Amino acid sequence: MDLSEIRGRLQVITEEITASEGEEENEEAEEDEFVMVRNRNLSSDPSEPPDAWCSDCRVPTHSKPREHTHTRHRVVSLSNATQEIKSELSKCSSSLAEKITQMDNFISNLEEIFITVEENFGRQEQNLEQHYNDVLQSLSQRFKENSAALLDEKKLKLETLYGQLLNCGDVLTASKELIEHAQELHRCDNKHAFLQTVIPVIKRMEEFPQDELELKVGVSLDFAPPSSDLTEVKHMMDSINALPAPSAPVMNPQVAISASPSSLRVCWSLFSDDTVDFYELYRRQIFEDINIETLQDASVLRVKETHCVVKDLLPNSQYEFWVTATNTTGISPASEKAVYMTVPSPPVIKEHECVSCLEAALIRWDSGNTNPVESYTLELYEDGETDNAVTESIVAIPTCECVVQLQPWKRYIIAVRAVNIAGASEKSQPMKISTTGTFFHLLKETAHPSLCVLDDGFTIIYPDKDLSLSDMVFSDTTFNSCVAVLGDLIPVRGRHYWEVEFDDWTEYRVGVAYEDTQRSSYLGANATSWCMRHIRTPSRHKYEFLHNGWSADVRITVQPLCVGVFLDYDSGTLSFYNTHLQQHLHTFRCCFTQNVLPCFALDKPGTLRIHTGVPTPSYITHTQA
């Protein structure tokens, strides 16, 4: 039966199961309908529809039944029941989807095994044919050798017999000639002539029998049996019936929950007819840039089982594995190579670069891995919950930052996981986020070289001693005229509030600016910045509210030593307040086409301190409302 027939039968079985489930659902529906009708009859007012759900009987009911049908049962509202059943349905759907994925993986594995069976059969058939051809070739060669030896022996015997035959013929001819000569002498009447010639003839006849005449056959009539040493052939024949070498194993694909940052569980399959003494598992790390220098020799592990936990690996790295099987006859061909991957290392949250406001937080982190990962998952829960269960997860985050929506006036604990095809990493070290106000940090890469930001990250100093131009290092992001620095405000277009504290003699500029505001320009002197400026004169403190080089005519009688800055994107306003007096100083009204950043500058040596995460004062929120 081929794979298509198997799939056809599986489809038929699936349809039968589906039909059976449909019949059961119809029966359950009829039973539920009956129970619903019965419960309606038992309710206090049969005309009213059911307003509750019995979790024990799993039927609709009334919250106040006339009779005690569900009084001892767990009865919940229809909305809660709907949520519970939807949650149960979601779990069942997830479980079914996981089983479908497992079946797909199993079918893929079966297809690979089918292909491997065909390949191994072809290889085994070829080996068997080659084996028998070798035996036949050896027997044919032995036959040719023995036939040639037998032919040589026959030729030698015939040559020997032919020589004896010629010798006998010569002796016989000489004997006949001697007899005929004797007979002629016997018929001779001349006695004188007879006596003169007969004596040599008699002497010759007397000497002739004395010559040794070989009348024995000089060769054997039998042939020597050919060599019958068939040890080699017998060994070849015996090897055909011996234990065969194993077929090539089949590497199984990587499954879920089989990897850690430093280990992998690798599995493979073997056919039941094969006998194996041990396996040799080969491993080699895969690099993105393959060249001769980075190509590593494979590591080998000898194992007895068809699985192995390989340790001492690198996180978020790919490895290729292949395996051979060995028994007393020999070693199998190597399996196809399979790629496995370790899970990533946990990311590292950059706490000093995370910013937040009342409704959201921007979380930034380092990957923690040398190789890129597929995505990240951010998990959060409210601080103070007893079970510390994750209340929200944001998945498939492609970069190392994410804006997450939060509830005001809460404290959250946030952690991040790195994800690749092998799974998710362990959680990063958690970080606490508070949504009591707007929290940001300063972008030190924008600071003028003469400006110092202390270790607390929120105190700015312009020293009395200026740096020489040769000691100043400027870049495209640093301010080069105005001794200023930008803050990293969360890009959420809502309401934001922070405060700036000064000494009474400090000359400063505070406000907001676009991120691409000109670094060679002073804050407030261009169309991309809005700021409040304080100038000391011999006679008084002067305050300006600058935008594009123009200032409104505003008189401030009491010097503010702490200024509150309130940014409201919705109303398009930027307001300044004297926090000690709860006094409104000035409001810019404009439509911000881009997200703005807090900006701070010192026109002369001095110090200012920034306070973030401060709740917006009620006198400001009431005014805005």
May I ask the CATH architecture of the domain 441-624? Sandwich (2.60)
Question: How does the average pLDDT of the chain come out, rounded?
Answer: 82
> 566-609, pLDDT tens digit by residue?
999 999 999 999 999 999 999 999 889 999 999 999 999 999 99
Cα-only R_g, the chain: 53
pLDDT attached to residue 38: 46
Burial bucket for residue 289 (CB in 10 Å: 0-12, 13-18, 19+)? exposed
pLDDT attached to residue 613: 92
Do 51 and 70 touch, CB atoms closer than 8 A?
A: no
The predicted model gives 59-79 an average pLDDT of: 69
Q: Using 50, 70 and 90 to split pLDDT, how confident is the model at 118? A: confident
Kindly give, in sequence order, each residue whose CB lies less than 8 Å from that of residue 54, ignoring residues fewer than 6 positions away. 60, 61, 70, 73, 74, 75
Do 500 and 612 touch, CB atoms closer than 8 A?
A: no
Sheet holding 441-443, edge to edge: 441-443, 484-488, 596-602, 508-514, 529-536, 541-547, 550-551
pLDDT attached to residue 307: 92
The predicted model gives 148-154 an average pLDDT of: 83
pLDDT attached to residue 292: 44
The proportion of the chain whose per-residue pLDDT surpasses 90, expressed as a percent, equals 45
Q: How far apart are CA 195 and CA 300, in angstroms?
A: 113
Do 333 and 316 touch, CB atoms closer than 8 A?
A: no
SS (H, E, C) 278-329: EEEEEEEEECCCCCCCCCCCCEEEEECCCEEEECCCCCCCEEEEEEEEECCC
CA-based nearest residue to 547, from 604, 497, 500, 586: 586
pLDDT at 547 over 60: yes
pLDDT attached to residue 557: 87
Do 269 and 355 touch, CB atoms closer than 8 A?
A: no
pLDDT attached to residue 355: 95
pLDDT attached to residue 239: 58
SS (H, E, C) 593-606: CCCEEEEEEECCCE
Consecutive H or E run containing 547: strand 541-547
Q: Inter-axis angle of helices 78-186 and 191-207, to 10 degrees? A: 150
Q: What Å distances lie between residue 144 and 138, 149, 231, 406, 483, CA to CA?
A: 10, 9, 17, 94, 106
> 329-368, pLDDT tens digit by residue?
788 899 999 999 999 999 999 999 999 999 999 999 999 9
CA angle 491, 496, 502 (to 5 degrees): 115
pLDDT attached to residue 137: 81
CATH number for the 250-341 domain, one of 3.40.50.2020, 1.10.287.3510, 3.30.930.10, 2.60.40.10?
2.60.40.10
pLDDT attached to residue 297: 77
User: How many Cβ atoms from other residues are within 10 Å of residue 549's Cβ?
Assistant: 11
| Structure-model confidence comparison of residues 57 and 398, the more confident one | 398
pLDDT attached to residue 12: 53
pLDDT attached to residue 610: 97
Q: How far apart are CA 362 and CA 354, in angstroms?
A: 6
pLDDT attached to residue 572: 93
May I ask the CATH architecture of the domain 348-434? Sandwich (2.60)
Burial bucket for residue 613 (CB in 10 Å: 0-12, 13-18, 19+)? middle
The ranges of the chain annotated as CATH 2.60.120.920 are: 441-624
pLDDT attached to residue 217: 67
| Structure-model confidence comparison of residues 129 and 6, the more confident one | 129
| Structure-model confidence comparison of residues 290 and 621, the more confident one | 621
Q: Using 50, 70 and 90 to split pLDDT, how confident is the model at 53? A: confident
The ranges of the chain annotated as CATH 2.60.40.10 are: 250-341, 348-434
| Structure-model confidence comparison of residues 488 and 104, the more confident one | 488
pLDDT attached to residue 609: 96
pLDDT at 226 over 70: no
Side-chain-side CA neighbours of residue 334 (13 Å) = 11
Q: Is this prediction's pTM over 0.95?
A: no
Q: How far apart are CA 99 and CA 494, in angstroms?
A: 45
The predicted model gives 288-300 an average pLDDT of: 66
Q: Using 50, 70 and 90 to split pLDDT, how confident is the model at 411? A: very high
What is the dihedral sign for C-alpha 158, 163, 169, 171?
negative
Burial bucket for residue 515 (CB in 10 Å: 0-12, 13-18, 19+)? middle
Give me the residue label for tokens 């000898």. Answer: 302
pLDDT attached to residue 532: 96
pLDDT attached to residue 142: 78
Q: Is 372 helix (H, G, I), strand (E, B) or coil?
A: coil
Buried/exposed code over 104-121 (b: 16+ C-beta within 10 A; e: otherwise) = eeeeeeeebeeebeeebe
Query: Which of 42-51, 130-139, 184-193, 522-531 has the highest mean predicted lDDT (pLDDT)?
Result: 522-531
